Amino acid sequence: MTTLREKIKELLRPYSNLPKEVYVIFVARIINAMGVLVFPLLTLILVKKIGLSIAEAGFWISITGILFGPASLIGGKLADTIGRKIIIIIFDILGAATYLVIALIEPSFSMIYLIMLAVFFMGIAQPAHDALMADLTTPENRSGAYSLSYMGFNIGFIIGPVIGGFLFEEYLPLVFLIDGITALLAVLLVFFFIKETFSKTKEDLGEDRELEKRVEGSIFKVLAGRRILLYFALISLGYSFIYSQWTFLIPIHAEQNFVNEGAKLYGQLSGFNGFIVMVFTPIITMLFARKKNIRRIVYGGVLYTVAFGILGFISTKAIFFFSIFIFTLGEIFVTISSMPFIANHTPASHRGRMSSIIPMLIGFGHVIGPVVMGGFLTFMSIPTAWKLIGAIILTFAGLMLLLEKLEEKNIL
C-alpha cells in the first residue's frame, strides 16, 4: 500500500530538481500577486469610482487590452535582441512606478490613461518573462516549471484581491500603492538572483528538441512553417474571450445581485480562486502528466462550459462559489498547458517574439470580451449572456480537440 509520504513525494515530483532560478521566479510571483489589486477591481473602479456606464467600462478595458498588443511586440523583439533580464527590470519598474503615481490622484480619466500606461510598460516586459522561463527549462520539466510559477502567483492571489475588496470603497489609493510596491519587490528578486539567459538561445540542442533549434529569418517565416501555432492561437482566442468574463461579467453580476457588496464578494471569489489553484494545481499536474498539453486544454474548455453556463440558470452566493471552483479547475488545465505547448514548438532564437505574437493573438479575445459583452448587455439579460458564453466555449473546446487530431495525423 502506498504510504502518505510516497503520495506527497509523487505529488511534488514535477516541482523537484528544477533550476534554482525557477524557484526564485516562484517566490517573486507570490510577492507580486499579493499586490495584484487593481485589475480584479478594474471594472468596478471604472463604473463606481470614475462613473462610467457598463458599456463604457467595457470599451476602456478593451482599449487598455489593445495597448498590450504593440507593447508585447516591442518587448518580444527587445528580448530576442538585447536580453531577457534587462527588459524585465526596466519596464516592470516603470509599470510599478506608474501605479505609485496613480495612488496620488483622484479618480478621473487621468487615472484611466495612467493605468493604460502601466499596462503598456508591463506588456513590454511580459515576453521577456516567458522567454526567460523557456530558456531555463526543457520539454521534460517545462510543464512542472510553468505549473509552479502559476501556483506561486495564485498563492499570492489568495490574499491580494481580498485585501483589494475591503480597501476599494474607502481606501482606493492604497490599492494602487500596494500593487506598485509589491511589483517593485518582485523585480528586485529577478535583479539580484537571476542571471541573464540570452546566451542559452545559442546552445546546441539534441534531436529530441528539433522544434526548438535556432533558425534564421523573421517571426513570420517561422510561423509560416509552423501553422499549428497559428491555429492554436486562433482557437485559444475563443478561450481568452470567455476567460475575460471572469474580470468583467462576474463582478457586474455580483454587484447586480448583491448591491454594494459586489466588490467584497468578488474579492472573496478571487481569493477562493487562488486557494483552489494552490490546492489543485499539483494534483492536476500529477494526475494528467501523461496527457498532451493540447488535450488538457480541451478538458479546460469543457470545465469552463459548466462553470459559466450554470450562472445562466442559478446565481446565489453558493452557486457563485461553485461556479468559480469549476472554472478554476478549467483555468488550471489551460494555464499549465498553453505556454509549454508554445515553447515546445518555438525555436530558441525566436522565443521572445513568439512569446509576444502568439499571446497577443490569444489575448485579443480578452480585449474584445468586455466590449462585446458590454454591448450584448444592452439588449440581453446577464443570465442569457451566460448561456451564450457556455455555448461559445463548448464550440472552441471542440475545435481544440479537432486540432489535436489533425496534429496526430501530421496534417499540420
Q: What is the mean pLDDT of residues 284-306?
A: 94
How long a stretch of residues is the chain? 412
53/370 Cα distance (integer angstroms): 12
The CATH architecture of the domain made up of 14-196+219-408 is Up-down Bundle (1.20)
Q: Is 92 exposed, middle or buried (0-12, 13-18, 19+ CB in 10 A)?
A: buried
Residue range 176-207, pLDDT digits in tens: 999 999 999 999 999 999 999 988 888 777 77
DSSP labels, 97-121? HHHHHHTTS-SSHHHHHHHHHHHHH
Grade residue 85 by pLDDT with cuts at 50, 70 and 90. Answer: very high
What are the grid coordinates assigned to 161, written together?
484581491
Q: How confident is the model at residue 82 (pLDDT cuts 50, 70, 90)?
A: very high
Please state, in angstroms and as integers, the Cα–Cα distance from residue 260 to each residue in 235, 251, 254, following that order. Answer: 37, 11, 9
Q: Are 284 and 332 in contact (CB under 8 A)?
A: yes
Q: What is the mean pLDDT of residues 211-218?
A: 85
For residue 132, what pLDDT band results from cuts at 50, 70 and 90? very high
Greater pLDDT, 246 or 55: 246
**What is the per-residue pLDDT across 30-46, written as a single tens digit (0 to 9) for each?**
998 888 788 778 888 99
Per-residue confidence band for 1, with pLDDT thresholds at 50, 70 and 90: low
The yes-or-no verdict on residue 19 having pLDDT over 60 is: yes
Average pLDDT score over residue span 362-369: 86
Tell me if 126 sits within 8 A of 156, measured CB to CB. Answer: no
Distances from the Cα of 69 to the Cα of 111, 217, 231, 298, angstroms? 21, 22, 18, 26
The answer on pLDDT for 159 being more than 70 is yes
- Identify the pLDDT of residue 2: 63
pTM: 0.82
Digit-coded pLDDT (tens) for 370-401? 888 888 888 889 999 999 999 999 999 999 99
DSSP letter at 195?
-
Whether the per-residue pLDDT at 405 is higher than 80: the answer is yes
Residue 320 has what pLDDT? 92
What was the pLDDT predicted at 305?
A: 97
d(CA 174, CA 170): 9
Task: State yes or no: pLDDT of 212 exceeds 60.
Answer: yes
Lowest mean pLDDT among 140-144, 209-213, 402-406: 209-213
What b/e readout covers 25-63, taking b as 16+ CB neighbours within 10 angstroms? bbebbbbbbbbbbbbbbbbbbbbbbbebebeebbbbbbe
Residue-wise pLDDT for 232-281, tens only, equals: 999 999 999 999 998 888 888 888 887 677 778 888 888 788 889 888 99
> Residue 96 pLDDT > 60, yes or no?
yes
> What percentage of the chain has pLDDT greater than the value 70?
99
In tens, the pLDDT along 104-119 reads 999 888 999 999 999 8
* pLDDT over 90 (residue 84): yes
Which band of pLDDT confidence, cut at 50, 70 and 90, is reported for residue 412?
low
The per-residue pLDDT of the chain, averaged, comes to: 89
Question: What is the DSSP secondary structure assignment for residue 45, as one 8-state letter?
Answer: I
Ranges of each domain in the chain: 14-196+219-408
